[in-house]
Amino acid sequence: RAAVAAAVAGAAGAGWLYLRRDKERRLRARRLRDLRALALGQGDFQLHDTSGTPRRKADFLGRWVLLYFGFTHCPDVCPEELEKLSRAVELLERDPALPPLQPLFVTVDPERDDAAALARYLRDFHPRLVGLTGTPEQVRAAAAAFRVYVSAGPPDADGDYVVDHSVLTFLVGPDGLFRDYYGRSRTAEEVAESVRRHMETYEPLPP
């Protein structure tokens, strides 16, 4: 009787575990379908990096990407967010079993942030952080693809101005699909843990 009871309990436990995993799989698949329906970040962008090399979103297919929109004259928020992004990448790099993660910074202030300005600014952050800029039209199109709000304020007497923009870091999967986003309240450790979970449970979504 004890053996039969144990067998029944084992079968019930295995059945429960299967149902739980199947439910989680279906929830992930539904969430991915919802993300694709949002079309967030699905559009391509045509920018160039600090060496002048043209870059499109398609160039980063096959890699995980952490993407932040900001500008080099930002007094405090952008440096804080880039420090956090860099720290999250460093935490994930400690695990060699995880796939590589590419950090990207797209300026929302192309009038002042040319390639040289970006190169100088990004030296203070992660060594693999790639900076992207372009014409005002190209930058607006890239921001619109991720639904990033951008609005330049009036210049002061010295011609300086602040650019108001959405403060979000986006996670893009190897298939180019938006997977998650992180606001100012998330710590580097929380971002790294979330990215890790996405990597470990990654399932490409069929076209």
Annotated binding site: 74, 78, 165
The interaxial angle of helices 188-200 and 77-93, nearest 10 deg, is 50
Question: What is the C-alpha to C-alpha distance for residues 96 and 68, in angstroms, rounded to an integer?
Answer: 24
Q: How far is Cα 75 from Cα 182, in angstroms, rounded to an integer?
A: 20
Cα(115)–Cα(113) distance, integer angstroms: 7
Length of the chain in terms of residues written: 207
Residue 80, Cα to own-chain centre: how many angstroms? Answer: 16
Q: Which residues are annotated as a binding site for Cu cation?
A: 74, 78, 165
